[in-house]
Every structure is written in structure tokens, then in C-alpha cells.
């Protein structure tokens, strides 16, 4: 047995390589720290952590219309909402002055029912205003790239000659009346009956009535009943405050000079002025929309005279039920339709959507429609050069107001 099997080599001294019969013991297996591994570990920094995955975006963040969204897309308004804030401020300030300066006197001298009735009306006005302003009015989603390409191909196939442009209108039959459907160049689709494109919000809205800056939103299929409730309750609240303020001033002026009473109650004078100049327009607007509800018309149709009786029986309103009560129930008590734009939905890749081959797709651009972008808002190049004379195509559709038309 050898006395020493291994010999120690001082640091810095060149030594011979170990023989093949002698295998070096690794430092790690011997339980000793390795100087080479520690020096290499200190020299090379640890690899950077992988970047976090991109945050999934919701559809309201890339919505192509001119709207503003709040509370994660749950609430929506038109982009210019300053007049809506003015409306809300006038209602709150006028009602607040009435509750603070007139209601205590009237409750002591007349009856406690006055502030209770005013509070109920104020609640109805504010709730219906917020429902009208922050609700989707019935916006239709724009066509996807594949849908627009297929529709464009179908329209191009309708042309029978090279000098005549393809059709941009078609007619459908609703309750035995012919209704013309127009093509929307922005949304890339034929608008359904009673649908119109709002130039302020840049959206196609179902049963479009009008764009109301006072509520900061379009008035359409999904919020018309709330708009009508708003103007009707506001007319009652304005008339109630106006009558109560006059009663308040009349009671205070008994045995006193009327001018002195006016100087002593400036808040009541301010309420009187606001109510006097607003009650007439509010009552007129309420009466006009009551007529529209009873006739099952919209403001847009009434102003354009689309279903005027002066044009003959063939232009009669196909949506009217020939009964005032039935029309009121259909407009105000009909089914509540869900929103179609899915504001809070996540954007998904459009990989699985079937599309037309590239050789058959017109030049719409290369933008993706997975996020409802407005790439389709630009019409194709050949659509820009078409003359304004268009052919009206009569299609054998038979639809009703509540059922989608089928060919």
C-alpha cells in the first residue's frame, strides 16, 4: 500500500497532467467550492425575465364610431357631451334650489305632499336621463372584411353591362308596402329598415330617431322609451316647480310689497325664470313625440315625409298597427333588445373566419378587422369613380317588422 497516493501541487506551480489511471475528483462532489464556477457565475448576469404577455384589449377600446366609453366600456356617450352636462346641471341646480328654498315654506303652510311629489318626479327625470345618455341606442356593428368582400362581390355580379354601375339600393316588402334599403358606404352593409347612419356619432343606429345633444347620445331602438319618459317626466317636473314657485311668491306677498318679496327670495326668482323659458319647449317636444308614438313614427321619418299621407296610399306607414293604443304598446312596451356591439368583449384573432380568396376580394386595404377597426370605412377605388345614377334592384323579399327578412 502506497504511503501517499496523491500529491499536492501549490497554486501557480505548473504541474503535470494527471495520468489516465488517476481521475480528478470534482470540487462539487468533494463538497468544496469551485473557484472556476463561482467566477464564471459572477461574471455572467442572470437571464432577464420574459416580457409579460400583452394585455388583452376589449372592443370598446378600438370602437370605430365617435363615442366615449366609461367604466370599462359599460357606459357610452357621444364625443361632444358638453350640452349633456348643461342639461344635467340645469335640472340639478333648479331642483336643488326648489328643495332648499321653496319646499320648506310650502310644506309648513300648505302640505307635506309637495316635496314628496317633487322628489318622485326628480327621481324619474334623473334616472330616465341617465338611461338615455349612457345606453347603447341600437348601434349596428360594421361588416367584417370578409363580409364586406362577399357583399361587394354579390353587388358586382348584379351589373349586366360595363357602363352601368352596380346597384346600391334594393327594395323589400313589409306589410304589403315596398320599402327601399340603402347601402352604407361607411359600415359596408345594406341598412335594415328604419336604420340610418348618424353623422355625429358615425354609427348606423336601428330605428334611428335623431341625435339629441341635450342627452349626449343618439335616440334609437334601445333607448327611445327612456327618452320619451325623460321628456314627459321633465315636463311635469318643470310645470310643478313653476306652479309651486308662483304659489310661494303669492303667499309671501300677502300683506307685503311684491317687489320686496322678490328681493327677499332671489332663488325663487331664478327658478321662475328658468322654468318659464323652458316649460314651453319641453311641453312642445313632449306633445310632438306623443304624436310620433301614437303613429309609430320616428323623427327622421316624419321630417323626411317618408310615410306622408299626402303622397298617396302606397306611401302609408307600413309599421303602424292602425291603432293608437297598439302603437303605444309596440313602441313603449315592446321587447327589450340586447346590444349588438359587445363593447366589453375581448378582441380575438380573425384566423378562423372564412373569407373570400384573395383573387376575388376587391382592394379594401390590408388592415385586420379583428378589433372592429374602421379600415372598411374607405370605399374601394372603383366605387369612387362610379356615377351617381344607380339602379334600383327589386328583390322578392317578404319581411315583417319584427322578423328578419329572408330571400
Domains of the chain, residue spans = 75-139+213-300
pLDDT in tens, 283-341: 999 999 999 999 999 999 999 887 776 555 567 888 989 899 999 999 999 898 999 99
Considering the candidates 187, 198, 201, 212, report the single residue annotated as catalytic: 212
b/e map of 26-62 (b: 16 or more CB within 10 Å)? Answer: eeeeeeeeeeeeeeeeeeeeeeeeeeeeeeeebbbee
Query: Taking 50 as the threshold, does the pLDDT of residue 230 lie above it?
Result: yes
Q: Could you confirm whether 212 is annotated as catalytic?
A: yes
pLDDT at 156: 76
Mean pLDDT of 138-147: 90
pLDDT in tens, 330-342: 999 989 899 999 8
Of the pLDDT bands very low, low, confident and very high (cuts 50, 70, 90), residue 175 is confident
pLDDT in tens, 58-102: 888 889 999 999 998 999 999 888 999 999 999 999 999 999 999
pLDDT at 150: 85
- This prediction has a pTM of 0.72
Amino acid at each position: 500500500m502506497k504511503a501517499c497516493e496523491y500529491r499536492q501541487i501549490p497554486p501557480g506551480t505548473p504541474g503535470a497532467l494527471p495520468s489516465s489511471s488517476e481521475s480528478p475528483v470534482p470540487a462539487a462532489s468533494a463538497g468544496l467550492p469551485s473557484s472556476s464556477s463561482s467566477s464564471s457565475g459572477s461574471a455572467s448576469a442572470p437571464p432577464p425575465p420574459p416580457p409579460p404577455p400583452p394585455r388583452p384589449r376589449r372592443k370598446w377600446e378600438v370602437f370605430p364610431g365617435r363615442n366615449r366609453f366609461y367604466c370599462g366600456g359599460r357606459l357610452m356617450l357621444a364625443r361632444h357631451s358638453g350640452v349633456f352636462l348643461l342639461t344635467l346641471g340645469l335640472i340639478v341646480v333648479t331642483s336643488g334650489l326648489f328643495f332648499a328654498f321653496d319646499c320648506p315654506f310650502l310644506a309648513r303652510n300648505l302640505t307635506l305632499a309637495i316635496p314628496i311629489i317633487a322628489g318622485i318626479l326628480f327621481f324619474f327625470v334623473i334616472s330616465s336621463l341617465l338611461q338615455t345618455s349612457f345606453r347603447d341606442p341600437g348601434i349596428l356593428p360594421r361588416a367584417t372584411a370578409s363580409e364586406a368582400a362577399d357583399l361587394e362581390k354579390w353587388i358586382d355580379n348584379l351589373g349586366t353591362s360595363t357602363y352601368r354601375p352596380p346597384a346600391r339600393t334594393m327594395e323589400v316588402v313589409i306589410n304589403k308596402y315596398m320599402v327601399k334599403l340603402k347601402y352604407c358606404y361607411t359600415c359596408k352593409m345594406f341598412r335594415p329598415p328604419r336604420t340610418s347612419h348618424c353623422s355625429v356619432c358615425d354609427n348606423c343606429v336601428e330605428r334611428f330617431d335623431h341625435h339629441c345633444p341635450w342627452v349626449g347620445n343618439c335616440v334609437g331602438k334601445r333607448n327611445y322609451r327612456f327618452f320619451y319618459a325623460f321628456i314627459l317626466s321633465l315636463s311635469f317636473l318643470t310645470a310643478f316647480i313653476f306652479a309651486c314657485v308662483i304659489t310661494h311668491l303669492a303667499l309671501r306677498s300677502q300683506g307685503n310689497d311684491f317687489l320686496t318679496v322678490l328681493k327677499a327670495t332671489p332663488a325663487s326668482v331664478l327658478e321662475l325664470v328658468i322654468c318659464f323659458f323652458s316649460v314651453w319647449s319641453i311641453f312642445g317636444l313632449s306633445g310632438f313625440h306623443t304624436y310620433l308614438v301614437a303613429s309609430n313614427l320616428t323623427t327622421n321619418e316624419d321630417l323626411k315625409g317618408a310615410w306622408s299621407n299626402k303622397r298617396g296610399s302606397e306611401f302609408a306607414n307600413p309599421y303602424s298597427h292602425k291603432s293608437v293604443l297598439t302603437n303605444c304598446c309596440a313602441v313603449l312596451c315592446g321587447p327589450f333588445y340586447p346590444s349588438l356591439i359587445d363593447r366589453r368583449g375581448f378582441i380575438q384573432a380573425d384566423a378562423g373566419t372564412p373569407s373570400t380568396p384573395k383573387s376575388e376580394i376587391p382592394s379594401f386595404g390590408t388592415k385586420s378587422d379583428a378589433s372592429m377597426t374602421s379600415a372598411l370605412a374607405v370605399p374601394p377605388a372603383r366605387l369612387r369613380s362610379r356615377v351617381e345614377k344607380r339602379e334600383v334592384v327589386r328583390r322578392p323579399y317578404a319581411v315583417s317588422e319584427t322578423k328578419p327578412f329572408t330571400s
